[in-house]
Amino acid sequence: MKYIHHYNSPIGGITLASDGKALIGLWFDGQKYFGTTLIGEYQLKNLPVFEQADEWLDIYFSGKEPDFMPLLSMETTPFRKAVWEIMLKIPFGETMTYKEIANEIAKQRGQGHMSAQAVGGAVGHNAISLMIPCHRVVGTKGNLTGYAGGIDKKLWLLEMEKANMTAFLFPQKEQHYSNWK
């Protein structure tokens, strides 16, 4: 049995999922790939991991970096898990490119090259958004490429974390973010 819980964030509703012990999902309501780890039956239930997640989210949305992480269980392929583990290491308020992640995966696997596009697919299918910070992954030239929760949320999150936004470009328009304020 799997369980769900709802959280109201400043940028929209969030649904969390658990296997009863660990967090297996965290999605903005209605985002692309919503509920990918919720196959089968599930029910709404209060669990200690949801209480921890709520506390983590409260701290995070106050603009601070939480100093703890609820127990996470990455129910995914080995490749995606490797990408997600790299994303877990991206510091609060900083970014990493798809290419940098691809280079790290290639290094881990003893390969000369890894496709940044393959990494992009793994990033996009991240089932535990925010805690596994896929919003911190950007294009090589500062492009704010897609985000399953929506590019507007990605921008909001990076700005809330006080990431340096001057080098970022909107995907729809080739101009700097600072020109949009």
Active site residues: 134
Residues 6+ away with beta carbon under 8 Å from 145: 98, 120, 138, 139, 171
> Other CB atoms closer than 10 Å to residue 127's CB: what's the count?
26
Q: Are 46 and 149 in contact (CB under 8 A)?
A: no
The residue assigned the tokens 């909107």 is 170
For 25, the enclosing helix (H) or strand (E) is: strand 23-28
| Lookup: tokens for 69 | 């992480």
Three-state secondary structure call for residue 56: helix
Angle at CA of residue 25, ends 72 and 129, nearest 5°: 90
Residues 6+ away with beta carbon under 8 Å from 152: none
